[in-house]
């Protein structure tokens, strides 16, 4: 009897876990839809602005601009790590942490800033000290907050206080594919294949001159790219949590069925034992 009661208690516990994970999956799915909409909506602007600045830079416009210049030799590089505040999102935080640690080992001695409690805890566990933790962004970062952060990086880079800014984040490629990436934010440069992000060969006439426009476009591009990185990270986190919770729900369902079969077998064995005892007792009275 004790064995069947124990199995029944486990069945109840697994059922409760299944309800919790299904609820978390539904919440993650809802948040993913909203975050994906925000990320996809901002991408055309970011890519077009990025492509325009890249074409101007490739054409020699703005040569010697502070944001396009080579880093200062005696300054330190700054690395920004974008992680999550919460867990239960599969390999999301682990992938970012491994990518960040590999980058930091390859480029020691720089400044480190972290977004998200999980990234901060991982760095602390690995013995890193002296890093700055940003707690003001949350699940829905506002552009104004990202703009202030990017503006601070721009000022420090122009003044020569830092030699560059690298961002470690989870890049959102599609709903089925996300990849940890180390992106160079400063000095500003287009990644491979980004020189013409719009896919066309536009010819621009600039008024005022291109150099003056570049003074406004470059800071705007840096801020837009950093904002897009935050959006990609949030979408990727919700996808990872949605997939992890679906897997947990499915596993809880399988375990519930296995426990039910085990309970039925234990109950059947118990009934058989009781019938055997009754028959044996009746036979002994004859």
C-beta separation of 155 from 218 below 8 A: no
The reply to whether 258 and 227 lie within a common domain is no
Note whether 82 and 117 are within 8 A (CB).
Answer: no
User: Does 29 reside within a domain?
Assistant: no
| DSSP strands (E only) in 98-254 | 111-115, 132-134, 162-174, 177-186
DSSP-based three-state secondary structure for 165: strand
Q: Do 124 and 55 fall into the same domain?
A: yes
Query: CA 163 → CA 71, 73, 93, 160, 242, distances in Å?
Result: 4, 7, 27, 6, 38
Residue 29's alpha-carbon distances to 36, 37, 260, in angstroms, are: 10, 12, 30
pTM: 0.79
Query: Is residue 56 in a domain?
Result: yes
Distances (CA, A) of 203 to 106, 206, 220: 41, 10, 21
Whether residues 46 and 75 share a domain: the answer is yes
Please state the φ and ψ torsions of residue 77, each to the nearest 5 degrees. -80, 145
* Model pLDDT, residue 2: 53
- Which pLDDT belongs to residue 82? 94
**Number of domains, the chain:** 2
- Are residues 148 and 271 located together in one domain of the fold? no
Reading the block at residue 223, the tokens are 């801020």
How many Å apart are CA 282 and CA 45, to the nearest integer? 87
Enumerate residue ranges in the chain where pLDDT < 50: 1, 191-200
* Same domain membership, residue 166 and residue 222: yes
Residue 280 and residue 153 share a domain: no
Q: Report the C-alpha gap between 229 and 227 in whole angstroms.
A: 5
In a shared domain, residues 218 and 269: no
Asked whether residue 26 is assigned to any structural domain, the reply reads no
> What pLDDT is stored for residue 195 in this prediction?
44
What is the β-pairing status of strands 162-174 and 177-186? antiparallel
Look up the domain containing 267 and give its range: 2-21+245-285
Q: Is residue 31 part of a domain?
A: no
Residues with Cβ within 8 Å of residue 268, at least 6 apart in sequence: none
* Whether residue 167 is found in the same domain as residue 274: no
Question: What sign for the dihedral angle of Cα 165, 169, 175, 177?
Answer: positive
Question: How far is the C-alpha of 118 from the C-alpha of 114, rounded, in Å?
Answer: 9
For residue 28, being part of any structural domain is answered with: no
Q: Which secondary structure element, helix H or strand E, spans residue 13, and what is its range?
A: helix 2-58
**Do 125 and 249 have their domain in common?**
no
The CA distance from 91 to 229, in Å, is 19
Q: Give the CATH number, domain containing residue 224.
A: 3.40.1380.10
pLDDT of residue 196: 45
Contacts of 184 (CB under 8 A, 6+ apart): 164, 165, 166
* 192/274 same-domain check: no
Token representation of residue 57 = 């830079």
Are residues 126 and 237 located together in one domain of the fold? yes
pLDDT tens digit sequence for 235-253: 999 999 998 999 999 999 9
Say whether both 100 and 64 belong to one domain.
yes
32 within a domain of the structure (yes/no): no
Question: Cα(103)–Cα(94) distance, rounded to whole angstroms?
Answer: 14
Do residues 187 and 166 lie in contact, with contact meaning Cβ atoms separated by under 8 Å?
no
pLDDT value of residue 169: 95
In a domain, 47, yes or no: yes
Identify the pLDDT of residue 149: 93
233 domain-assigned: yes
Residue 264: which CATH number? 1.10.287.80
Q: What is the pLDDT of residue 4?
A: 80
């Amino acid at each position: 009897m004790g064995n069947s009661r124990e199995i029944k208690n486990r069945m109840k516990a697994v059922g409760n876990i299944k309800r919790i994970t299904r609820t978390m999956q539904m919440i993650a799915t809802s948040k993913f839809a909203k975050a994906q909409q925000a990320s996809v909506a901002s991408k055309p602007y970011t890519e077009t602005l990025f492509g325009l600045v890249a074409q101007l830079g490739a054409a020699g416009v703005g040569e010697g601009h502070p944001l396009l210049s080579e880093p200062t030799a005696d300054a330190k590089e700054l690395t920004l790590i974008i992680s999550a505040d919460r867990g239960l999102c599969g390999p999301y935080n682990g992938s970012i942490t491994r990518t960040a640690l590999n980058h930091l080992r390859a480029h020691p001695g720089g400044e480190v800033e972290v977004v998200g409690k999980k990234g901060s805890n991982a760095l602390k566990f690995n013995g890193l000290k002296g890093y700055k933790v940003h707690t003001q962004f949350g699940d829905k970062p506002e552009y104004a907050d990202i703009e202030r952060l990017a503006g601070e990086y721009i000022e420090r880079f122009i003044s020569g206080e830092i030699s560059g800014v690298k961002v470690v984040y989870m890049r959102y490629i599609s709903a089925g594919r996300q990849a940890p990436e180390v992106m160079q934010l400063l000095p500003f440069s287009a990644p491979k294949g980004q020189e013409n992000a719009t896919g066309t060969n536009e010819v621009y006439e600039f008024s005022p001159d291109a150099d003056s426009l570049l003074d406004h476009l470059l800071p705007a591009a840096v801020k837009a790219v950093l904002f897009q990185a935050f959006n990609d990270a949030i979408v990727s986190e919700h996808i990872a949590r949605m997939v992890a919770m679906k897997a947990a729900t499915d596993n809880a369902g399988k375990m519930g069925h296995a426990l039910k079969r085990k309970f039925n077998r234990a109950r059947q064995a118990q009934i058989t034992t009781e019938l055997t005892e009754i028959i044996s007792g009746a036979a002994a009275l004859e």
